[in-house]
Amino acid sequence: MANGQWYPPEWPDRIRALAAGTLVPAPPRRAATVMLLRDAGGVEVHMLRRRTSMAFAAGAYAYPGGGVDPRDDDRQVRWAGPSREDWAERLAVPDAQAAQAIVCAAVRETFEEAGVLLAGPTPETVVDDTTGADWVADRQALIGRDLSFAEFLRRRGLVLRSDLLGAWARWITPEFEPRRYDTWFFVAALPEGQRTSDDSSEADRTVWIRPERAASAYDQGELSMMPPTIATLRTLAAYDSVAGALAGSAERDLTPVLAQARLEDGELVLSWPGHDEFTKHIPTGGPGTAEKTGRTR
């Protein structure tokens, strides 16, 4: 039975073009995504299904997240938790400004897509309710880029709680994809009193689900996911509490994972280093030839 690996039909031709030197890779855009967790007789993670109209990963299950806004590095952002310099070291980025932009993108996108805000009036508190017309208006202003995240926090007198995030993984979109992202994955606990929203403009369904249940549904071909999503789900399944997952994030390896394509025995082989289950063997016979997938081949 086929699993739910997201695999666009145009990939083989693009891989061939990349191998032939006729495809110039697009530069990846910095992005961040957050695996929101809660304890419910075990760990549950919040996921959304991307609308079929989306240009990237349509129909696939993913986490709230998106690209860095150029204004996410605004130094006026009120900040709590590890310093920007500490985050730069953890995320392996050149400077504090880049680190702030990634962390801000993680917090901002989580609010925009899930209605959950990792910020509070003081460095020790977090808001307990983000419902109501005024919060919805602010979310829409952020989504429309009519309001910067720094200005949003300033207006509401809030401090960004970077200590509520744990860095988990880093994946870079393959070079043959037209839309490329250099994405940092984070974990965070759903703040007490807050609840996720199901009105994301990018999703047609949202769920709270056990990581092992989601992984099983992927294995059975019931849920479609990109390699980074299923890979991070499998690692989350090792934890039986949110506190354990957050503590474990400190030891997570953030070496970037980037797909590689090579010619081998008359086939194009697509692989993700360290993740053999995603390997694809693509015959060089041209479009329409069946592709093969193998965990250990």
Q: What is the pLDDT of residues 34-63, one digit of tens each?
A: 999 999 999 999 999 976 555 555 678 999
The secondary element (H helix, E strand) that includes residue 8 is: none
Query: Number of structural domains, the chain?
Result: 1
Tell me, yes or no, whether 222 lies in a domain: yes
| pLDDT level of residue 202 (50, 70, 90 thresholds) | low
Confidence (pLDDT) at 176:
86
CB of 223 closer than 8 Å to CB of 217: yes
Question: Quick check: is 269 in a domain?
Answer: no
Q: At what angle do helices 96-114 and 133-143 cross, to 10 degrees?
A: 130
> Using CA atoms in the order 136, 189, 179, 105, what is the torsion angle rounded to 10 degrees?
60
- 196-224 burial: b if 16+ Cβ within 10 Å, else e: bbeebebbeebbebbbebbbebbbeeebb
Domain that holds residue 196: 11-258
* CA atoms of 63 and 36, how far apart (whole Å): 8
Q: Tell me, what CATH number does 65's domain have?
A: 3.90.79.10
Say if CB 46 and CB 33 are below 8 A apart: no
Q: 238-267: per-residue pLDDT in tens?
A: 999 999 999 999 999 999 999 888 778 878
Residue 290 in any domain: the answer is no
Its pTM surpasses 0.75: yes
